[in-house]
Amino acid sequence: MNPLSWKRNHLVAGVLFCLAGALCGLGFAWLDSPFHSLCRGSISGDWANCTYALSLWLGYPSVYWPMMVYGALIPGVVFYAVQLARS
């Protein structure tokens, strides 16, 4: 089954599933990062602001890109398997 021959609504749904999975992967990577541990453990100072720590952490994509890729691939493969099972 060729994904390029799918209807537009199936393509949009697949892309949305992959984007949602990538965002979930980014969230899980943030929860696992040492920057998150620092901001959750700080009472005062620069590290007490988790938004500031998140903006610093986003400057290092080599830390979180694997989780985003896995987060996008897993729902994409599941969506493709469901489409194969339906046809």
Residue 72 located in a structural domain: yes
Work out the angle at residue 55's Cα, subtended by the Cα atoms of residues 54 and 59, and round it to the nearest 5 degrees.
110
- The domain total for the chain is 1
At 41-85, the pLDDT tens digits run: 877 776 788 888 899 999 999 999 999 999 999 999 999 999 889
Kindly state whether residue 41 falls inside one of the protein's structural domains.
yes
Residue 22 makes CB contacts below 8 A (sequence gap 6+) with 68, 69, 71, 72
Is residue 84 a part of any domain in this protein?
yes
Q: What is the residue range of 71's domain?
A: 33-87
CA atoms within 13 A on the CB side of 14: 17
Q: What is the mean pLDDT of the chain?
A: 89
Q: Which two tokens stand for residue 24?
A: 């979930």
Q: CA 23 to CA 17: how far, in whole Å?
A: 10
Q: Is residue 46 part of a domain?
A: yes
Position 58 scores a pLDDT of 93
Question: Is residue 11 domain-resident?
Answer: no
DSSP one-letter code for 3: G
d(CA 41, CA 80): 41
Within a domain: 37: yes
